Amino acid sequence: MMKKRFLAVLVTGLFLLSMTGLAQAALTTIGTATYGGSDYNLIWDDNNNGNSIVWLDYSNSPTYWTAQKAWAAGLDSSLTYNFNSGYSVAWNDAAWRLPDTVDGAYSYGYDGTTTAGYNITTSEMGHLYYTELGNKSYYDTSGNTQSGWGLNNTGDFDNLNASRYWSGTDYADGTGYAAWDFGMDYGGQNYGNKLNNEYGLAVRSGHVSAAPVPVPGTMLLFSTGLAGLAVLRRKRKGSCV
């Protein structure tokens, strides 16, 4: 009976220990980047529309679209990375960039299935705003105004502004004058004239490696189980003499 109990403790400890390596929050601060003499969080978004990306928690001052794209693309040479212990990143993108938006024919709506409007999570900023941060838009999916809308939850971000941000995606209507953007104020996605002044937010795709950190209670269970088995083994040897 005692042996079964010890075995149960050991199995539980091994299971919980394995789970510490698998569990991963949607947003995790994996370090900082020094930029312009200040440190800004590097925030790992482990599943943004199926992609692993890292956000730089810095909002570049509003300017026109091509200037924001140039700012993001040139960031790498201006950053000093300070990753937390146990974390490393293998970048998939050659450089930092503005967030992506799925381009398509203009279609406005509220239920999240359109290219413009509200509750859209197919863009990287839309997914961040709604899914990772859990914010609400001004309109619900039926087009009715709702309470609690706006950038109320910022998670690990300290420098998100309730304003409009450029994406890096052209609005492919054939004119070349517009690009997609996202409003961190009302949660709305649309396109704007590239000469408009809007904020810039940098992101980069990459594979993040994280060394699992055992939970103290789990290690105690694991150690107790091993100790118990050792005691049982000694008792069995003694009874065979």
* Exposed / middle / buried, residue 150 (Cβ in 10 Å: 0-12, 13-18, 19+): middle
**In terms of domains, do 204 and 227 share one?**
no
Residue with tokens 């413009």: 116
45, β-bridge pairs: 27, 53
Helix (H, G, I), strand (E, B) or coil at 202: strand
Higher model confidence: residue 82 or residue 226? Answer: 82
**In terms of domains, do 81 and 173 share one?**
yes
What are the tokens at 14?
């091994």
**In terms of domains, do 7 and 50 share one?**
no
Residues 49-62: pLDDT tens digits?
999 999 999 999 99
**In terms of domains, do 122 and 149 share one?**
yes
Q: What dihedral do alpha carbons 171, 154, 72, 127 form, nearest 10°?
A: -40
Q: Which domain holds residue 168?
A: 27-210
CA distance 61 to 199: 5
Share above pLDDT 70 across residues of the chain, in percent, rounded to a whole number: 77
**In terms of domains, do 13 and 76 share one?**
no
**In terms of domains, do 99 and 116 share one?**
yes
Give the distance from CA 187 to its chain's centroid. 17
Is the CB of residue 178 less than 8 Å from the CB of residue 145? no
Phi, psi of 14 (to 5 degrees): -65, -40
Residues 85-139: pLDDT tens digits?
999 999 999 999 999 999 999 999 999 999 999 999 999 999 999 999 999 999 9
**In terms of domains, do 7 and 43 share one?**
no
Pick from 181, 154, 157: nearest CA to 54: 157
**In terms of domains, do 144 and 160 share one?**
yes
**In terms of domains, do 72 and 94 share one?**
yes
Query: What's this model's pTM, rounded to 2 decimal places?
Result: 0.79
Whether the per-residue pLDDT at 14 is higher than 80: the answer is no
**In terms of domains, do 147 and 230 share one?**
no
**In terms of domains, do 205 and 222 share one?**
no
Pick from 24, 27, 49: nearest CA to 157: 27
**In terms of domains, do 6 and 59 share one?**
no
92, β-bridge pairs: none
Q: How many domains does the chain have?
A: 2
